[in-house]
Amino acid sequence: MTDDEVSGLIEEFHMPLHVQRHCAAVANFAKELGKKLIAAGEKMDLKLLHHAALLHDLVRVVDFKKFEPEEFPDPISAKDIAFWKMLREKYKGLHHAEAGARILEERGFKEIARLVRSHRFLQIKEGFNSWEEKILYYADKRTKHDKVVTLKERLADGRQRNAPETENTKEAAELDEKVFTLEREILTKIGEAKPID
């Protein structure tokens, strides 16, 4: 995949600007982590990781709990709204990671699709098959909107927005602990004593 193909997909699927900013922030943080892992002796495909991070929320609109485009922080067009409504209907009931992965697979981008599919929150229960998957997942879980924040803050925000019914449950605490375990694994590998801001 080329940079132009990434840009083309972002334009074709009318990715909202605030989602683009989130993806860019995740991509930058993931790349920073990836470089540190390479320096620590791990093998990593930084270009694959970067492209997957830029596209991980390609069709995030398909499963917004509240779909109120008029509330989006940037100007949008009637064409944008019509396209998003079509996407929401076409991929109804699918998680945005799965919908995005299917689109990428159809275009022949199987490796990027695999990474995009693995960024869904519950993937932490199943684990990961590569450093690229781990880093994309972790970078996304540290990025609130377009800012890197603590894992604790991001997990609380994500739960409040996407699954408020799970707050203060045993399962939520167990899932969060798995994410913190992943954070410790990454930090240990790159030789960081505490999370990178």
What are the pLDDT digits (tens) for 132-147?
999 999 999 999 999 9
What are the pLDDT digits (tens) for 152-189?
898 888 777 766 666 667 887 888 899 999 999 999 99
Dihedral sign, CA of 35, 51, 111, 135? positive
**Number of other CB atoms surrounding residue 102 within 10 Å:** 16
Pick the CATH number of 3-190 from 1.10.3470, 3.30.70, 1.20.58, 1.10.3210: 1.10.3210
What are the pLDDT digits (tens) for 40-99?
999 999 999 999 999 999 999 999 888 999 899 999 999 999 999 999 999 999 999 999
- Under DSSP, the state recorded for 43 is -
For residue 191 the two structure tokens come to 């030789």
Nearest to 155 by CA among 177, 170, 134, 133: 177
Q: What is the pLDDT of residue 162?
A: 66
Q: Does residue 13 surpass a pLDDT of 70?
A: yes
Q: Give the three-state DSSP class for 18.
A: helix
What is the number of alpha carbons within 13 Å of residue 189 lying toward its C-beta?
19
